[in-house]
Structure 1
Amino acid sequence: MFYQIFKPAVFRLDPERAHDLAILALEKAGTCSISRGMMRTQFYLEDARLSQTVFGLRFPNPLGMAAGFDKNARAVPALAALGFGFVEIGTVTPRPQPGNPAPRLFRLEADRAIINRLGFPSEGAPAVARRLARLRDQQVPVGLNLGKNKDTPLEEAASDYVSALETLFAYGDYAVVNVSSPNTPGLRLLQGADYLKGLMQAVQAANQRLAATHARPPLPVLLKIAPDLASEDVDAIGELALSTLADGSGRLIDGLIATNTTLSREGLSQALDEAGGLSGQPLRQRSTEMIRRLARATQGQVPIIGVGGIANGQDAYDKIRAGASLVQLYTGFIYEGPEVAHRIKRELLKLLKRDGLGHISEARAQDLA
């Protein structure tokens, strides 16, 4: 409620400036046990009906913060205190890079959407690893969203993902191969069959090697895909996700994240002639349809994280019923404020009760039955 009072003033700021201030505030709040305790007191809502184990990890609730919000792992403790069930940091590149020139972030308030062409601005994996190493007992899983540097040729992309994984492996609970941002030239070509299988094999080989070195299990490795893929490409990715590693120790892809931002401008009520990926409410139905197709293509055997246009409990529930095990938001946080996780969880519990379901996992893929 308080956020809605102050939001007009926040939205008068340049979008990237407002984002930087929000990250700074969350970073400061997260370092203080008193402020974390105050946030937990106000936003705490955990219920056994929302807790589940996915990828071998326990998630206290199915709602996570998507990659892109906390690129350099500065706000993890505060986001956990706000009630998110997991936090995905990044996208992190092996070496620092500034991203694309500003302005590169634009609000479409009438559509509750954002266009961004940030281009993976990152402090680099070593800096992010040092910050993650200082975190203790976050009580929620932390995902590592990995990308390639802009100046790395596509044919050498695998080395960037492996390098970032090597640096960050010890500090995350799962890893994400991000090949779906529209803001790094050529990156989405890595979703094609010519590249994708070899890329995932390289990352999984490094994952197995690092697991032996660190004496811990391999990280679940997920693939994040674009909402603009053709149906046959989605089916091909689903088929690839069902394939096993050469040694038979697991699957080539442990999970899928659907979806990243879209290049489409379909459904917008206002014209904004800016390049970049569109997120928020206009993406909601498109991403849900992608989840549904992936769930069918993988026969429900590969966990899916649904993201795109989630602003309330019904949005999240629709994605779960389409086949997602977990969901994420980012743009919804910008428009709805810090209480959004608490509210969505409360609404999910009401929806479960309405449908006579005892646990969130019972809702998964109900619309496919």
Structure 2
Amino acid sequence: MYEVLKKILFLFGAQRVHKALEFCAPSLSYCPFLMNFVAKRCIFSDAILEQKIFEQDFLNPVGIAGGFDKSAKMLRLLTYIGFGFLNLATITPKAQKASAQDELDLSSFSSIDAQKMQERLLDLTPFVLPLGIGIAQDEHPNDASVYKELTQRFKEQTSYFIIDLSLPNSQEYKLFLDGDFAHNLLQELRQISPKPMLLKFSADLGQELAKDLCAKAVEAGIDGIIISDTSAELDLIKQAQQEDLDAQKSKENGFEFFKS
């Protein structure tokens, strides 16, 4: 089933497919016959895949990373596709517009504000899969109160928090960020919610800063670290795409030469 869908979806750009899915998902997820059809073909259960993490049952180790669904419109649909967990991220106090129209930049999907997100999640609670909620700042890189406000707001809806320190497009935030900030922030958030907390940061921060963040986060009792978040550097992706294009042209040229 996936191979068939892949051939169709890969004919279009990532942004276009994502917008179409986001538009259709709410209606599709309330079609019981369609969802039963999808679930029977996509959900696979086996004891060898099951895990117990954070005192919660994960049916399998494959999930959706934060950033794919920033508006909570696809959560119901995604539960029928066979994932073991879902991440909803990243939530900020104010709505975020797409940062780029580049089809390669999958982090540029727009998002809704925290108030609307909470209203949508209340309609979906309780959730059938472990649901991680990612929170981040938007306009005030030196204001930890934003994280505290969002933790308070979503502590009943989430299975675990993802404390997002990425903000790959914010140079100001990179200059401010350090291990002490992460350490103090995590200790303050622990006072608000006992839910498990994962620290997430960008690959662009540099090795020394990344090591400092990890060390201070572990010292503060972090439950996990996500170390492969979005990079603002798309050169490697563009280079790979160009190499694929060149390889395809070489095949076509070789075929034409052979025919002649």
Quickly name the TM-score band, shorter chain normalised: 0.7 to 0.9
| 1:40 to 1:187, Cα distance in 2 relative to 1, 3 A | farther
| Residue equivalent to 2:132 | 143
Contact 1:179 1:188 in 2 (8 A): no
- Give distance in 2, aligned partners of 1:79 and 1:195: 35
| 1:189 to 1:37, Cα distance in 2 relative to 1, 3 A | farther
The answer to whether structure 1 residue 3 and structure 2 residue 5 are counterparts is: yes
Contact 1:179 1:190 in 2 (8 A): no
Pick aligned residue for 1:256 from 208, 218, 225: 225
Structure 1 residue 25 displacement after superposition: 2.3
Structure 1 residue 63 displacement after superposition: 0.8
- Give distance in 1, aligned partners of 2:9 and 2:166: 31
- SS for the counterpart of 1:176 is strand
The answer to whether structure 1 residue 161 and structure 2 residue 137 are counterparts is: no
| 1:155 to 1:122, Cα distance in 2 relative to 1, 3 A | same
Structure 1 residue 27 displacement after superposition: 2.5
Contact 1:181 1:187 in 2 (8 A): yes
- SS for the counterpart of 2:155 is helix
Contact 1:63 1:84 in 2 (8 A): yes
Q: 2:7 corresponds to which letter in structure 1?
A: I
Structure 1 residue 189 displacement after superposition: 4.4
Pick aligned residue for 2:116 from 117, 127, 147: 127
- Give distance in 1, aligned partners of 2:36 and 2:171: 43
Contact 2:90 2:134 in 1 (8 A): yes
| 1:30 to 1:184, Cα distance in 2 relative to 1, 3 A | farther
| Residue equivalent to 2:76 | 77
Structure 1 residue 34 displacement after superposition: 2.4
- Give distance in 2, aligned partners of 1:256 and 1:44: 28
- Give distance in 1, aligned partners of 2:172 and 2:196: 26
The Cα offsets for residues 264-309 of structure 1, whole Å up to 9 and x where unpaired, read as 43473356xxxxxxxxxxxxxxxxxxxxxxxxxxxxxxxxxxxxxx
- Give distance in 2, aligned partners of 1:166 and 1:137: 18
Q: 1:134 corresponds to which letter in structure 2?
A: D
Structure 1 residue 146 displacement after superposition: 0.6
Structure 1 residue 204 displacement after superposition: 2.0
- Give distance in 2, aligned partners of 1:30 and 1:184: 36
Q: What TM-score, normalized by structure 2, do the two folds share?
A: 0.81
Q: What TM-score, normalized by structure 1, do the two folds share?
A: 0.59
Q: Which has the higher contact order (CA 8 A, sep 6+)?
A: 1
- Give distance in 1, aligned partners of 2:172 and 2:223: 24
The answer to whether structure 1 residue 115 and structure 2 residue 100 are counterparts is: no
Structure 1 residue 22 displacement after superposition: 1.2
- Give distance in 2, aligned partners of 1:177 and 1:27: 27
The Cα offsets for residues 126-176 of structure 1, whole Å up to 9 and x where unpaired, read as 111111111145421011111112x22x221x1111112222211111111
The number of aligned residues is 238
| Residue equivalent to 2:258 | none
- Give distance in 1, aligned partners of 2:88 and 2:53: 18
- SS for the counterpart of 2:192 is helix
Contact 1:176 1:224 in 2 (8 A): yes
| Residue equivalent to 1:243 | 219
Alignment of 1:81-230 (within 5 A): 81-100=80-99, 102-103=100-101, 105-106=102-103, 114-116=104-106, 118=108, 121-136=110-125, 138-149=127-138, 151-152=139-140, 154-156=141-143, 158-189=144-175, 191-207=177-193, 218-230=194-206
- Give distance in 1, aligned partners of 2:44 and 2:176: 39
- SS for the counterpart of 2:89 is strand
Structure 1 residue 177 displacement after superposition: 0.8
- Unmatched 5+ stretches in structure 1: 107-113, 208-217, 245-250, 272-369
Instruction: Find the structure with the greater CA-based Rg.
Output: 2
- Give distance in 2, aligned partners of 1:223 and 1:75: 24
Contact 2:70 2:88 in 1 (8 A): yes
Alpha carbon RMSD of aligned pairs, Å?
Answer: 2.3
